[in-house]
Chain A
Amino acid sequence: MFIGYFTERPYQDPHSGYFGATGKPVMDLAMSNASYDPKLGADLYHRYFDEKIYAEEMGFDGLMLNEHHSTPFCMGGVMNAEAAILARITQRAKIVLLGNVLPLWDDPLWLAEDLAMIDMISRGRLVTGWVRGTGRESIAHNAASPYNWERFQEAHDFIVKAWTTPGPFRWEGEHYQYRYVNPWAWPYQQPHPPIWIPGVISRNTVKWAAERALPYVMLATDMEPTKTSFDYYHEVARENGHKSGTQNIAYLWKVHVDETEELAEATALKYVQGPSNPFLEGNQGIVRPFIQNLPGMTSRTNLLPTIVNRAAAQARGQLPQDAPKAPGDMFGTLDSQLERMTIITGTPETVIPKIRHVLEYLRPGSVFFWDGDGAMTHDDAMRSLRLFGEEVLPAVREIGKELGLQSSFEVDPMTGEPVPEAVS
């Protein structure tokens, strides 16, 4: 079992009016950066690095980063810069990027160089993931949404070739053209760093990942549709001759551990407060569905059950989601998320059996615990990390063994055979 730590690194400004349950509405792509305070930004970046270092100390196997643009809920606009720093200041943990938004890159050769450098600096600890991005990303970097999927696929093919084929060579593609591909940087891991594919929406993407046996990570989706998507992945992977198993799938969800049940519940409420990801259900922020559903971004017939009903409805026009929600709305929804275990919180004693339930049901070989987000403070994050390290992670590893949950670092997701280094 592989266990990673994730936070979306929100921009928290207690003076902004956007922070906390009574603040101004956080509307997707409708907040000016006029109030951005780079001194505060500096403190927050340092804080999140400190938490990552501590997470490694506490025994997490992976430190996951993600990337969003023009939004306060994620400070990882240049995730690769954060990854490069982690590569030097951490020692053991994998640096898991989930992921670079491939269709945004007009120059994926530059990305191939970035990632090769990070892999070298970390001495081979990079796990590189690709995403297609939300509509927000296409808007923010002005990448034509109808070509999102084509660019994703071509950039992937190109980067893998740039990492594995000695140059110089030419690339004359549909979306990318190069006359001289010969980067003076080579990934530390051979033939190249593991590529994981995270997703929430697109059936195309699951299928594409499964055909290539690239591990697939479901991001904070409900359990039932997550299971359906994993089953679909396994089906496609096996049709393509892969021995798909726990090593091929991963699940990210919100888990916060605390010293008392009361403190845990009060802190978990902060998941849905402040600049937390507004396009996750129950959060204080408001999503504009037409931005999420840019024209041609997602095939209309190829949505996963995670989102099919909501997206289909939203794509057709405005739904009540467009109207500002009352700040109190999320209280009920937090309860609902706790009930469905898309958020788990409590003391180690109460959290561990719930994590077991999720693991038994979904059987992922890798998991990421999403913590320290929304309006949570550094102290909130550090208390949880300590309890994860002292009590939760050892127990989860035991559960993983008992359930036979093996990660892609133990079993090769391509072949289904044990990974040699893991055996030795």
Chain B
Amino acid sequence: MSRPIVPAEATLELPAGKIRLLSGGDGPALLVLHHDVGSFGWTPFHEALAGRFSVDAPDMPGFGQSDRPDWARHPRDLAILLLQMLQDQALQQVTLVGLGFGGWIAAEMASMDHGRLRALVLVGAMGIRPPRGEILDQMMTSHIDYVKAGFRDEAEFERHFSAEPSPEQALAWDLNREMTARIAWKPYMFSHQLPQLLRGVRTPSLVVWGREDAVVPLSCGEAYEAALPHSRLVVVENAGHFVEMDQPAALARLIVEHSGEE
């Protein structure tokens, strides 16, 4: 068995503020964008990808330890900042992986600069109004229960965070929720324009959904598949919204296959 990869922690200074970044592994560039609840750190999912890719996992602007752009009013603002970050790093042929809310940001990035992407992977992504069902409203539940809802069951949540998450952890989720509210309050978690903009994205795209996703309906996955010209939808069994937490190896394998890094 190979030795675990210890991620390097870095802070990028962008004109819009600091971005904190975890990086590890070797290979083609891969960027992972976290959920609205924030990053879960360097997880087995990142570890699995780092065996094939050079993985960057930033805290998106306004989340975690990255500076908050007070002026941002839409997920597209974050997408632009993250594209500027990729431009500064002169990264090309990037495999872009967006988890949940990060999937929305990733889709916005693809709509603006698909030429920079080698592959796009959207996992349980928000961003499109569900044709059927509703996106779970985190403002009508507690920020802790909302995180619970992302796992396939409560036992999985407790395995990671115990039944009583630490006050620091709960506060971090609360602050991340505030950033989400600043940019995605209304319409809640979707853009009317995005599906139209995605029609011009030529990047090979993989849309992944947890069979038991209780946060974003599978119908959104179908809508992404319909909107993205070069896409296919794969449903992962025994996974909730946080597919990368519930089925890290399976998701990593799908991404490796999709990006042709086998």
Contacts and interface: CB of A to CB of B under 8 A. Distances in A.
A317 B162 CA distance: 14
B139 interface: yes
B140 interface: yes
Given A144-B186, A295-B180, A290 B141 contact: yes
A241 interface: no
B260 interface: no
A142 B167 CA distance: 28
B144 A318 contact: yes
B182 A318 contact: no
A145 B144 contact: no
Contacts of A146: 178, 181-182, 185
Q: Which 10 A-B pairs have the closest CB atoms?
A: A295-B178, A144-B185, A290-B142, A295-B181, A296-B178, A295-B177, A146-B182, A317-B144, A146-B181, A316-B170
A29 B140 CA distance: 9
Interface string B109-152: 00000000000000000000000000000011111110000000
A146 B165 CA distance: 24
Nearest to B182: A146
Contacts of B86: none
Nearest to B137: A139
A315 B174 contact: yes
Contact of A316 (B145, B171, B186): B171
Contacts of B177: 295
Contact of B174 (A145, A147, A316): A316
A298 to B, nearest CB: 11
Interface residues of B, number: 19
Tell me the dominant secondary structure on chain B's binding face: helix
Interface string B4-40: 0000000000000000000000000000000000000
Contacts of B181: 144-146, 294-296
A294 B180 CA distance: 12
Given A145-B181, A146-B182, A294 B139 contact: yes
B11 to A, nearest CB: 24
Interface string B239-255: 00000000000000000
A399 interface: no
Given A145-B185, A295-B139, A317-B170, 9 more contacts: A139-B140, A144-B182, A289-B142, A294-B181, A295-B174, A295-B178, A296-B178, A315-B174, A316-B170
Interface string A282-323: 000000011100111000000000000000000111100000
B143 A290 contact: yes
B168 to A, nearest CB: 10
B34 to A, nearest CB: 17
16 contacts: A29-B140, A139-B139, A139-B140, A142-B185, A142-B186, A290-B141, A290-B143, A294-B139, A294-B181, A295-B143, A295-B174, A296-B178, A315-B174, A316-B167, A316-B174, A317-B170
A215 to B, nearest CB: 31
Contact of B182 (A290, A296, A315, A316): A296
A144 B73 CA distance: 11
B88 to A, nearest CB: 28
A169 B142 CA distance: 44
A296 B178 CA distance: 6
A294 B141 CA distance: 10
Contacts of B174: 295, 315-316
A291 B140 CA distance: 6
Nearest to A150: B70
Contacts of B142: 289-290, 317-318
B162 to A, nearest CB: 13
Interface string A117-155: 000000000000000000000010010111100000000
A327 B30 CA distance: 56
Contacts of B186: 142, 144
> Which of A145, A290, A291 has the most chain B CB within a 10 Å cutoff?
A290
Nearest to B144: A317
Nearest to A145: B181
